[in-house]
Chain A
Amino acid sequence: MSEAKIVQSTNRIESTVLADPGLGTLYRQSKAENGVTVFIPNWNHRPYLPRSIRSAFEAIDRLEEAGYSGELLVIDDASRDGSQKFLRTVQVLYEDAPLKTVFLERNLGLPRLRNLAMRMSRYRHVCMLDADNELVADNLPLFLQTGVQTGAAVVHGLLIDKREGRMTGLRSDNVASMRLTTGNYIDAFALLDAMKVLRAGGFVTDQRLYGYEDWEMILHLIAEEEQVVFVPVVMGYYHLTPGSMFAETAEDKGPPPRSAAPEVVTLLRRMFAQTGTREWDAVRVGRIYHPAVGYID
C-alpha cells in the first residue's frame, strides 16, 4: 500500500477516535516538500506564547530567505487561561502571517495534539515547538535541508536549557543509540517527517506512557528502521520554568523524563529490548549530518 493510502486510512481511524468529524476536514492528505510547519501545542501557556510565536515567525522568515516556505500552526487544547483571546489577537494583528490557529473545545492531550498537527500540516516536515520553548530562527533552514537530503524521520539538534535567562545545560545533544532503551535523551522538540511518523502510527496515546510518548516514538521509529539524524547545531532553547512539561512531569512522576519511572522503563524495554541484554545499548543507530559537510560519522 502506498504511503499516502496508509496515512489516509490512519486519518479515518483518528477522526473516529477523536469523535470530532469536523477535525477530519482540516487534514491535508498531500504535503508540500519545500517548507516547514512549525507546530505549537498550547495548553494554558498564555504567558509564554509571545516568545515561542515570535521565534517561529522569525524562523519562517529565515526559511523564506533561504528559498523555502513555512507556516505556523497553533492548536489550543481547550485552555482555561485566556490563550484563545491572545491567539485571536495575534491572528488579527498579523493577518498576513502564515498562521493557522485551531481552538479545541475539549482537551485531547499532547500526543493526540501532535498527531492532529501532523495530519493538518501543509508541509511534510513539522517542527515540534512546545509553547514555552523557543526556536533559534537562523538554524531552521539547516534542519529542513538535513531532513530533505537525508530522508530522516527525525532530525534533532542541540537544545540549550535555560533557567531564568541563564544556560544551565544541554539536551538532545547525543546521537541515537540503543542506550535510548534505558532512558530518553532526544527531546520531542525536533523536526519530524510527518508522513513517516504517521505511517508508523503517530504518537501513542496509551495512558501508561503519558509524558513519555516522544521516547516511545523514537524507539518505535528506530525499530521501524527509520533514520534519526543529529545535526550538531543549536535548534532552540528549552526554557525550564516552574510550569514547563519537564518540571510538571518531574513533579508528577518523581524522576525527570531522562530517568523515567521504573514501570515506564520496564514497559519500554519489554517493547523494544526484550532480550534484556545491555551489551547492545551502545550500538549507534542514529547518524550525524550537516548540510555543508554531509554525514560526519
Chain B
Amino acid sequence: MQIEILAIVRPPITGDQELASRLSRGFRDASHSVAVYSAPEVCAMAPEDLRNTTLLVASPGKCIEASGDEPVFLSKVACARKRILASVGPVQSPRYLGRLRRGIHFDALFDLGFAPQEDYHSEVSDVPYHFVFNGPTREQEPLVQEPPNQVERTIPWVLVGPRSDRNRDLLGALFEHEIDPGGFCLLNGRPKNLAPPEPMLGGPKLSAILSKARYYLWGAERDVVYYESFRFIISLMAGTVPCKIDPALTAAGFDIPGVYASVSAFDTEVQDIGYSEMYRRARDFYVSRGRLGEHLSGALRLV
C-alpha cells in the first residue's frame, strides 16, 4: 500500500469526525499530502508503511475501541514516525486527560481553538503543546461582508444544547430580560437506561436553523475558561452572530467578539450596534488571523 506522509486516524464519533475532516482540509489547503484512515485500516497497515508517516489521532480512546484490537492498534501507532494528538476542548477536563493517557506516546499535541491553553496544559502533561488557530479553510473564503438573507432571518436567537441547569438558567435570563421571546430553544436530555441517546442537533440541521436566525447563543457548560471555536465557525458560516454568555471569559480578557458577561450585556450590544455590525466584527476576527492551513503547517514544522 502506498502510504501518504501525513495521515489522520478517523474516529467513529461525529464531533471528532468534524475535527478530522477540518484537519484534513486545513493540511490540503497548505499543500500537504494527507490521507484519512479508520482505526481498523491502521491495524491492517504494514509497520514499514507507517515508518515515514506522521499520524494524527483525534480521539485515541474511541479509535482504540473502533479498532477491535487494542494491542495491534497501539503497536501500529507506535510504528509511526511521529504521533500527534489533535484536540479540541478545554484542557481542564477529564476528557482531555483521558486522551493523553490511552497508551500512546505522543510527540506533540495540536490544540485547535481561538485561545491558547498552554499554561493549563503544562500543569497536566509533558507532551509538547502547540496552539493552532482554528482559522478559515480555503473553501470558506471569501466570507461575505454582509450576512446573507437578512429578511428571512425570522428567528431572533437560537439556544441549542444539553438539558442542563446552566442552559435552563440562560433561557430564564433571556426571558427575564425580555429579549425577543420568539427564540428557538432545543435542549436535549442525556441518555438514560435503555433509551438510545436523543439525537443532538448538529450538522446540516443546525445550519438550516441558524440560516434563519440572527444570534446563536450558548453559555459555559462547566466551570472552565474556554471558548468553543467550532460553534463560532458553524454560526458564522450560517450568517448568524456567535454569542457566548460567560462571565469567566470576559473576566479573563478574551478578545473574541461576541463574548458577554451576562444576557443584559448581550442585549445592550444588540441595542447599540445591532446584528449586521456584530456579524462584521465576528467575521473580521475570524478572517484576520490567517488560515487554518498556515497555522497547521507552522505547528507541524515544530514537531
Contact = CB atoms under 8 A, between A and B. Distances in A.
Interface of A: 136, 138-139, 142, 158, 160, 166-167, 169-170, 173-175, 179, 232-234, 278-279, 281-282, 288, 290, 292-293, 296-297
Given A167-B175, A290-B155, A293-B212, A174 B184 contact: no
B194 A139 contact: no
B144 interface: no
B168 to A, nearest CB: 6
Interface in B161-191: 163, 168-169, 171-172, 175-176, 180-187, 189
Nearest to A137: B181
Interface residues of B, number: 29
B208 A293 contact: yes
Nearest to B212: A292
Given A138-B181, A138-B182, A167-B168, A234 B194 contact: no
A282 B187 CA distance: 17
Contacts of B199: 297
A250 to B, nearest CB: 21
Nearest to B174: A234
B150 to A, nearest CB: 14
Contacts of B184: 232-233, 290
Interface string B187-205: 1010000111011010001
10 contacts: A138-B181, A139-B181, A170-B163, A170-B187, A173-B187, A233-B183, A282-B194, A290-B155, A290-B209, A292-B212
B194 A160 contact: no
A5 B35 CA distance: 66
Contact of A160 (B171, B187, B189, B209): B171
The 4 closest A-B pairs by CB, nearest first: A167-B172, A282-B195, A232-B186, A292-B212
B14 interface: no
Interface in B121-156: 152, 154-155
Given A139-B181, A160-B175, A233-B183, A292 B155 contact: yes
A120 B292 CA distance: 63
B159 to A, nearest CB: 9
Interface string B204-228: 0100110010000000000000000
A281 B194 contact: yes
A181 to B, nearest CB: 13
Contacts of B209: 290, 292-293, 296
B214 to A, nearest CB: 12
Contacts of B195: 179, 281-282
Given A167-B175, A170-B168, A158 B181 contact: no
Interface of B: 152, 154-155, 163, 168-169, 171-172, 175-176, 180-187, 189, 194-196, 198-199, 201, 205, 208-209, 212
Nearest to A167: B172
B180 to A, nearest CB: 8
B185 A142 contact: no
A139 B156 CA distance: 12
A288 B195 CA distance: 19
A288 B186 CA distance: 10
A234 B201 CA distance: 18
A173 B164 CA distance: 13
Task: Name, among B172, B189, B205, B212, the residue most crowded by chain A CB atoms within 10 Å (CB to CB).
Answer: B172
Contacts of A282: 194-196
A168 to B, nearest CB: 9
A233 B154 CA distance: 13
B212 A234 contact: no
Contacts of A297: 199
A290 B208 CA distance: 11
Nearest to B196: A282
Contacts of A279: 194
Given A232-B186, A281-B194, A281-B195, 16 more contacts: A138-B181, A142-B182, A160-B171, A160-B172, A166-B172, A169-B168, A170-B168, A170-B187, A233-B183, A234-B185, A279-B194, A290-B209, A293-B212, A296-B201, A296-B205, A296-B209
Nearest to B165: A169
Contacts of A278: 194
A259 to B, nearest CB: 15
Task: Name, among A139, A232, A233, A279, the residue most crowded by chain B CB atoms within 10 Å (CB to CB).
Answer: A232
Contacts of A170: 163, 168, 171, 187
A246 B199 CA distance: 30
Nearest to B175: A160
A1 B300 CA distance: 73
B240 to A, nearest CB: 13
Nearest to B173: A167
Contacts of B186: 232, 288, 296
